[in-house]
Structure 1
Amino acid sequence: MRKKYDYLIVGSGLFGSVFAHEATLRGKKCLVLERRDHVGGNIYCEEIEGVTVHRYGAHIFHTANRRVWKYVNDLAEFNRFTNSPIANYKGEIYNMPFNMNTFSKLWGVVTPDEAREKIEAQRGVVTGEPKNLEEQAIRLVGTDIYAKLIKGYTEKQWGRPCTELPAFIIKRLPVRYTYDNNYFNDPYQGIPVNGYNEIIDKLLDGIEVRTDVDYLANRAAYDALAEKVVYTGTIDSYFDYKCGELEYRSLRFETEVLDTPNYQGVAVVNYTDRETPYTRIIEHKHFAFGQQEKTVITREYPAVWQQGMEAYYPVNNEKNSALYQQYKALADAEPNVIFGGRLAEYKYYDMDKVIEAALSAVEKEFAE
């Protein structure tokens, strides 16, 4: 007997929503299940004091893929936001990514050649193959930038000293010998004028969605409803942790309304000293060039992840990468389940890459 739905989509983030939308366009019937009380995953926004607030941290859309840029612009109008965060090291302000403005503030240099000379001189303190993240970072950008702008932030983010983190976590660090504060190199960049909810709502328009649903708690019953499953949750929980538990880092957000029109003058400030407990402060109104009388800020605190908490960053060290490969082998053996997204694939995904992956999964599924 034919089942009621063609696809059961577990998770309403970008991967699940794009897949559900594209499958529906191809005449398939989908049911979307969402564990949270709202759709959209981590790009969900809410309005506070007239300000569009990114509830789960800053989400700035950027891509070099023209197809993906057209795809999202067909769903929403984007503004011209350019990500130009700053770093605060014990009250000292530096531009990011590392560029001539950063180097001029650090060393008083003016020309690219002067900056290169400074960095080259400092890189030489590490000889041989870097044995940990600290040595890798110094090899890439020198001791001054590492000490002020990398070390404290990284140790807070990962919850351990840089000397105990593997070198490959930092494969490269962007260093620009230009006076350019644009964080991303991608030619297309912006934020939806009306927030990301508009994109998700359009993707899921006309599709049955159930929120506050724990798929894994009643998997057999939900699987019986559909011919195939698209699963975007944590891959180890899908297999009941039979090979062991993958590690993640989590986040805690502390959001506050302030009775001032402008708190920090920029959307994102990274706090790079070890003593400040949070890694960054987001002032949401600057994502949309807001002129509201009040402002909304969010402090972002890294946290040790435990089951039941939101999993934000996979800990892609050798141990976890090997464990993930065991789960991937199990996933590949599931004939009627498509695993996709950052949790199911245990990798950090930018938004454009999630959409690329979802569209690729659709093309593979429908043999296009």
Structure 2
Amino acid sequence: MFDWLIVGAGFAGSVLAERIASQRHESVLLIDRRNHIGGNAYDCYDEAGILVHRYGPHIFHTNARSIIDYLSQFTEWRPYEHRVLSSVDGKLLPIPINLDTINRLYDLELTPEQLEEFFASRRETVEEVRTAEDVVVSTVGRELYEQFFRGYTRKQWGVDPAQLSKSVTARVPTRTNRDDRYFGDTFQNMPAGGYTRMFQRMLDNPRIKIMLQTDYREIRDKIPFQRMIYTGPIDEYFDWSLGRLPYRSLRFEHATLDCEQFQPVAVVNYPQTENYTRITEYKHLTGQQSPKTSLTYEYPTDIGDPYYPVPRAENEALYKRYEALAAACSDVWFVGRLATYRYYNMDQVVGQALATFARIQQSLPATGTVQMLTQRTMLGQHSEQFPT
């Protein structure tokens, strides 16, 4: 009998397994369909000895001190500020759009003040910003939308930006200065030993048992447990009884080249050309030195493991119906990007997991080993009658 079954060994499941085992001293069975821990953040050394991310680049950034403090128990950090270039009109230009982007694209010498006037002259008036297209055209105008956003978004999501929630492009800022960092968070670092090493340390607890290449449906009626945390697709948990929620997937092509560097930054986007959305070169992330370099090409698809919930109004409405079913489940917690149908960053998933653990602490008395230790302590106070 396990105190907890946790389905999924990514950030959500692993953080909760660690908290439950270390703070509540309860037993956890952590399972995952894949043959490794770490979920989509899994990294490993390839044949060239280069640390690569099997499921595309994962760049850690956050403004939350509590999340930094928590993860720092399991890793040291390597400073890294992510920079991305976009291949537009035959030029590699900074994205998010900034002062250098516009000056290099149009061969101008604008100042920050002039750039604001430039954007203002091109913006379209949108009475109500509802879609991903609305966000961009109301900020920088239609020409830049077509050059930088529309093609990339259509490849990534399989539909036109006009059919997607505004949250898709609202994640990408527009700057009038020369700040070419992709993120603006105060904390931008990579786990010094990689994500997998961080997960290994997080899960290094005798109360945590891990079963890989294991499907939840195959063991749920065979291995006894008291409570469950589920981080998989919420519609799958309910046997798709209300219909399937759309998820977007990715196909990856990994390559190693006999050159020290392939591109000037870790990631280059291709909004106008190519079938892939971007190329990642991992040595920029890790700081490794090698005469070879390893890359990943990303091809979005509807086939394969679910990666991204598709942010459309009808999908959110269907999720709300599944959420109502989940609310009626006793002793089951739904956590993470797939289980709550949200496009979360890694730090947001960690925050959600820590918040879920806080609710567990408030709502549930300790069981398992904690309860046994309490009973043994009470018995010890009367050791003459009840020797321990």
Q: What's the TM-score, normalizing by structure 2?
A: 0.89
Structure 1 counterpart of 2:357, from 340, 358, 362: 362
1:221 alignment counterpart: 222
Would the alpha carbon gap of residues 232 and 294 (structure 1) be closer, same or farther in structure 2, given more than 3 Å must change?
A: same
CA deviation map 1:64-101 (0-9, x unaligned): 00111122222111111100111112421111221111
CA contact (8 A) 1:44 1:197 kept: yes
2:378 alignment counterpart: none
Q: Which has the larger radius of gyration?
A: 2
2:370 alignment counterpart: none
Question: Which consecutive unaligned segments of at least 5 residues does structure 1 have?
Answer: none
Is residue 2:113 matched to residue 1:113? yes
The within-5 A match list for 1:240-255 is 240-255=239-254
- d(CA) in 2 for partners of 1:60, 1:46: 15
- 1:327 maps to amino acid: Y
2:377 alignment counterpart: none
How many pairs are equivalent?
A: 358
Structure 1 counterpart of 2:306, from 299, 302, 311: 311
The within-5 A match list for 1:218-367 is 218-222=219-223, 225-273=224-272, 275-305=273-303, 309-367=304-362
The within-5 A match list for 1:35-50 is 35-48=33-46, 49-50=48-49
Would the alpha carbon gap of residues 172 and 235 (structure 1) be closer, same or farther in structure 2, given more than 3 Å must change?
A: closer
Deviation of 1:168 (Å): 5.5
Greater shift, 69-78 or 245-254, is seen at 69-78
Deviation of 1:205 (Å): 0.8
- d(CA) in 2 for partners of 1:304, 1:80: 35
- 2:109 maps to amino acid: V
The within-5 A match list for 1:1-16 is 4-16=1-13
CA contact (8 A) 1:331 1:339 kept: yes
CA contact (8 A) 2:132 2:170 kept: no
Deviation of 1:319 (Å): 0.7
CA contact (8 A) 1:109 1:115 kept: no
- 1:153 maps to amino acid: Y
1:28 alignment counterpart: 26
- d(CA) in 1 for partners of 2:15, 2:352: 10
- d(CA) in 2 for partners of 1:261, 1:32: 40
CA contact (8 A) 2:88 2:147 kept: yes
SS in structure 2 at match of 1:221: coil
Q: What's the TM-score, normalizing by structure 1?
A: 0.93
Would the alpha carbon gap of residues 111 and 241 (structure 1) be closer, same or farther in structure 2, given more than 3 Å must change?
A: same
- d(CA) in 2 for partners of 1:169, 1:268: 19
SS in structure 1 at match of 2:244: coil
Provide the identity percentage.
Answer: 39
- 1:97 maps to amino acid: P
CA deviation map 1:241-269 (0-9, x unaligned): 00110001110000001010101121111
SS in structure 1 at match of 2:145: helix
Is residue 2:136 matched to residue 1:137? yes
CA contact (8 A) 1:140 1:172 kept: no
Is residue 2:15 matched to residue 1:18? yes
CA contact (8 A) 1:156 1:302 kept: yes
